[in-house]
Amino acid sequence: MWLNYFKIAFRNLIKHKFYASLNVIGLAIGIASFILIWLYILDELSYDRHYRKAENIYRLVNVYDFEGVGENSASSPFPVAWTLKSDYPGMVENVTRVFNRQVPRTLIEHNDKSYNERRFFFGDSTFFKIFDVPFIYGDPYTAMNEINSVVISQSAARKYFGDSVPMGKTIRFEKMLDLKVTGVIRDVPGSSHFQFDMIASLSSLRKMYGGSLPKTWVWNPCWTYLLLKPGMADKLETNFPAFIQKYFYDAEKEHVSLYLQPLLDIHLKSTLDYEIEPNGNISYLYILGSIAFFLLIIAIINYFNLATATSANRAREI
């Protein structure tokens, strides 16, 4: 019986080639467009979800308002991260700062190879305890404990060291500092709100700042990430006004506020000043999603209209 149905359908396709082609092509284009747009939307929604602790990771946001002139800053002063960890150990499990010296590119050299790296950062020794990128060589818990240490991506390792194992070898930072490779990680997924190929221990910068990292509460060059204990975000935020009064300078206290931004909101919902990289926009996804469903519905309606017209023609022929 089914074989007969297929034979009849095939004969109709041959007999009505034009309508059959319109049916198939129109429906195929509609479905393909829907699938492609939907795959893009799913990719955008997947940002930073590869980190196991993503649900409990937050970025600290600094809001400055001086007589109507201010900024909503994705970055924070140097001392904020570890002061929060010290003052609220029951809420803050761990912290890390990320710093790029506020320059777009960094000169890195090894032997006769020299590149201006766009994805070079400094971070605390706790960085990989929060952002769990898989290690190929080295230990994520100790790789950045030493001063003048650096963890590099698999792509960076090939670029500078070829097929040899780079562990223990050095790269030169801005012609003034030798950094020892203490870890090699898999390339950071493209679905990360910031990409890095190299991240060096933040303690390596002490010499540049007179023996210790900056202690000022005015300059805010660090992106500060906090790993909170589950359910503690709102509770921690209620302590921010008192925290500001305790540590920020008198001239700032009435003009500064802090809040926590969930890691999973950064890519699609953040339009702050001093973002590490340009983000997406959730509004665009709503628009694209609407377009995808519209195309699919139009394709289906068109298919049934043509199918109905073909059936009517067949009925007249009979």
pLDDT tens digits in sequence order for the chain, 318 residues long: 555 545 555 565 565 566 666 677 878 888 899 999 999 999 999 999 999 999 999 999 999 987 777 889 999 999 999 999 999 999 999 999 999 988 989 999 999 999 999 999 999 999 999 999 999 999 999 999 999 999 999 999 999 999 999 999 999 999 999 999 999 999 999 999 999 999 999 999 998 888 889 999 999 999 999 999 999 999 999 999 999 999 999 988 999 999 999 999 999 999 999 999 999 999 999 999 999 999 888 888 876 766 565 554 554 555
Whole-model pTM: value is: 0.88
Please tell me the predicted confidence (pLDDT) of residue 151: 99
- The rounded distance, in Å, linking the Cα atoms of 231 and 91 is 9
Which secondary structure element, helix H or strand E, spans residue 269, and what is its range?
helix 263-269
Q: In this structure, which amino acid lies at residue 134?
A: P
- The rounded distance, in Å, linking the Cα atoms of 189 and 46 is 11
- The residue ranges of every structural domain in the chain are 54-269, 281-318
Please tell me the predicted confidence (pLDDT) of residue 161: 97
Please tell me the predicted confidence (pLDDT) of residue 8: 54
- The rounded distance, in Å, linking the Cα atoms of 75 and 312 is 67
Q: In this structure, which amino acid lies at residue 139?
A: D
Q: What is the DSSP string of 129-175?
A: HHS-PPEEES-TTTTTSSTTEEEEEHHHHHHHHTTS--TT-EEEETT
Mention every residue, 6+ apart, whose C-beta is less than 8 A from residue 47.
Answer: 191, 192, 193, 264, 266, 267, 268, 280
Which secondary structure element, helix H or strand E, spans residue 117, and what is its range?
strand 113-117
Please tell me the predicted confidence (pLDDT) of residue 30: 87
Please tell me the predicted confidence (pLDDT) of residue 298: 86
Count of other CB atoms within 10 angstroms of residue 174: 13
Please tell me the predicted confidence (pLDDT) of residue 257: 95
Please tell me the predicted confidence (pLDDT) of residue 111: 93
**Backbone conformation region of residue 231, classed left if phi is above 0, alpha if psi is from -120 to 50, else beta:** left
Please tell me the predicted confidence (pLDDT) of residue 225: 99
- The rounded distance, in Å, linking the Cα atoms of 145 and 106 is 22
Please tell me the predicted confidence (pLDDT) of residue 224: 98
Q: What is the DSSP string of 29-84?
A: HHHHHHHHHHHHHHHHHTTTTTSTTGGGEEEEEEEEEETTEEEEES-B-TTHHHHH
Across the strands, what pairs with 69?
A: 66
CA distances (Å), origin 295, targets 27, 283, 301, 304: 10, 19, 10, 14
